[in-house]
Amino acid sequence: MTTPTPATPLIPLPLTIARALTTAGAALTALSTFLAWTWTKAFPGNLTVTGYPGGLQLLTLTGALLTLIQLLATWNTPGLRWLSPTRSHTPTTYLAAGTLATTWYTLIAISVQLGGLANLEPGGYLAAAAALLTLAGALALPFERRPTHAARTPLPPPRPLPAWAEILIIAAAFALALSVLTYGIGTAYGELFTGFLLLTGFATAALFAAGLITRLSALTHKHRNITVTAAFIAAAAFPLTQDTDEYTLIVVNILIFSTVALGLNVVVGLAGLLDLGYVAFLGVGAYTAALVSGSTASTLHIHFPFWAAVLTGAAASLVFGVVIGAPTLRLRGDYLAIVTLGFGEIFRITVGNLNGESGPSLTNGPNGIPNIPDLAIGNYNFGEKQKLGFITLNPFANYYLLMLLVTVLVVLVFSRAGNSRIGRAWIAIREDETAATAMGINGFRLKLLAFALGATLAGLAGTVQAHVAYTVVPEQYVFAGPVPPNSAFLLAAVILGGMGTITGPLLGAALLYLIPAKLQFLQDYQLLTFGIALILLMRFRPEGIIPNRRQQLEFHEPTTTATPPAPKAEAQTS
């Protein structure tokens, strides 16, 4: 049987004093956000105003209030008990740590950017001390060390709710997620986005520790159709929250990156084939669409309709997947990785040489294919503003909705394939190909099928990417570069998010694209940053951010305790 580690405080103090310190610290932290933290407006967000918070102060205020609310929930406060199904103080500790991280990051950024601690006002010093006091009090609360999911005790059964109330909870959860996502993508400067990431990360850990994610997962599993509908409506409503195309374009590229990562997840996560040149299939789809979509720079001088261009790009990637996979998939491990890496580089060099001088005139060489026209379905032109009743969609909002449909299609294909007989055979090959072959599985044929399916999904996304970017050039399809998607980032998205899952690569791709897009100073240190992230993840969570249940159990052996044998009953003598 599994036994969870008992809850013990990290700082030995009486529980009453710990609660008082946490409450006082959180209240003072919230109060400090209504004071000026600096005297100059040179730091973004205008933290010079007394009377109301602004900029990063809003994040500190949010963290302090969430800490107070969670602490009250652990006291069985009426109306707040549902916020802490586990009745644990661990979420309070996480929220206090997130509040401290956000606050101290803001104050350090002010000191570094403006040239010293002299630029802090008394409100800033009060915020630093109060946030530290909050964390000290939270560390004196009982903290449950739960190293593995398997060691967690089940939650107490929830109070029965009517079906309409459960549906409202699901809708509210997706509405809250949309609001948080919209705020994070719309942050106006890098400091605010960094503070948002810090607080969101600790708040997410608090939600898991409180048991709210587990309760919500049970509701979504119970109302699966309602959940899918609510998720799609929330995703489709994102363009309606944007006034311009600036942030919508970022999300369109995130969807493209996520779709390609999910296609790679078929190859790596299900079949266990390490493909280091996967971005080449994205390039095949993009170049094919650029050649047949009526670009003035196309050497083919043909113009296919939208549906034909998409099918042509996906079919071309399928053919390349079969042609490349047939002679190489008899290799395994590092040898297969080296060959696929070589294929990716060969593709980039080849399209760079098809300029009429070094080779046939097809791709215009390093200049690529510019002036790719906007997609059009009948009279609906994606490059123009469109009105649907009272709703006006900007050009990139049109592409966003198109990519959302493509992403839904890819998710359906992945889920159906993963749960099918072929998907189970892929998993068997991933775990032990020799054993799978001994059980009668044709390993080569199924690996080729996985390779072809992954290539087709990448080519499908590439056809849309070509029209979104309006141009394709060889430098877009490298193994590692400053701008995703590339093979290294795609593989990192799958590993960071969680191999073999659907939401894992989607989340990993979103983070890997969004962070460099919002934090411009990381442009020169992306590989270093993601290398450090991979090392930390392999050390503390090797199964990924959103793990596959099977892999989570493989990476973490449950803590077991031997149960002493029951004493034998003594024989009764008459």
pLDDT digits 0-9 by tens, 510-559: 888 888 888 776 666 767 777 787 788 878 777 778 877 666 665 555 54
pLDDT computed for residue 85 by the predictor: 83
Cα–chain-centroid distance for residue 234?
A: 17
- Do 77 and 222 sit in the same domain of this protein? yes
For residue 562, pLDDT over 50 is answered with: no
- Do 16 and 110 sit in the same domain of this protein? yes
The tally of domains found in the chain comes to 2
pLDDT-derived band of residue 147, with 50, 70 and 90 as boundaries?
very low
- Do 15 and 78 sit in the same domain of this protein? yes
For residue 484, pLDDT over 80 is answered with: no
The verdict on residue 551 lying in a domain is no
Q: Which residue, 465, 483, 501, sits at the end of a domain?
A: 483
193: left (phi over 0), alpha (psi -120 to 50) or beta: alpha
Residue 177 burial class via C-beta count within 10 angstroms: exposed 0-12, middle 13-18, buried 19 and up: middle
- Do 191 and 278 sit in the same domain of this protein? no
In the predicted model, what is the mean pLDDT of residues 470-492? 81
Q: Which residue, 466, 483, 500, sits at the end of a domain?
A: 483
- Do 329 and 403 sit in the same domain of this protein? yes
The verdict on residue 246 lying in a domain is no
For residue 260, pLDDT over 60 is answered with: yes
- Do 292 and 374 sit in the same domain of this protein? yes
- Do 449 and 477 sit in the same domain of this protein? yes
In the predicted model, what is the mean pLDDT of residues 556-565? 49
Q: Are 55 and 174 in contact (CB under 8 A)?
A: no
Q: Are 274 and 252 in contact (CB under 8 A)?
A: no
pLDDT computed for residue 499 by the predictor: 83
- CA-nearest of 291, 299, 2 to 146 is 2
- Determine which of 35-39, 446-450, 518-522 has the lowest per-residue pLDDT on average: 518-522
- Do 126 and 271 sit in the same domain of this protein? no
For residue 5, pLDDT over 60 is answered with: no
45: left (phi over 0), alpha (psi -120 to 50) or beta: left
Q: Which of 64-68, 214-218, 384-388, 559-563 has the highest mean pLDDT?
A: 64-68
Q: Average pLDDT of the chain?
A: 84
Q: Are 414 and 266 in contact (CB under 8 A)?
A: yes
For residue 436, pLDDT over 50 is answered with: yes
The verdict on residue 141 lying in a domain is yes
The verdict on residue 508 lying in a domain is no
- Do 281 and 227 sit in the same domain of this protein? no
- Do 261 and 377 sit in the same domain of this protein? yes
For residue 477, pLDDT over 90 is answered with: no
The verdict on residue 543 lying in a domain is no
Residues contacting 33, CB < 8 A, separation 6+: 53, 57, 58, 60, 61, 64, 123, 127
- The residue ranking higher by pLDDT, 166 or 526, is 166
The verdict on residue 26 lying in a domain is yes
In the predicted model, what is the mean pLDDT of residues 50-56? 89
Could you list the residue range(s) of the whole structural domain that residue 30 is in?
8-152+160-233
pTM: 0.84
The verdict on residue 69 lying in a domain is yes
- Do 55 and 200 sit in the same domain of this protein? yes
In the predicted model, what is the mean pLDDT of residues 50-77? 90
Q: Which residue, 429, 456, 483, sits at the end of a domain?
A: 483
The verdict on residue 431 lying in a domain is yes
- Do 172 and 311 sit in the same domain of this protein? no
Cα distances from 95 to residues 25, 67, 533, in angstroms, run: 12, 5, 22
Structure tokens at 438: 């001994």
Instruction: List helix spans (H) across 77-162.
Output: 90-114, 122-139
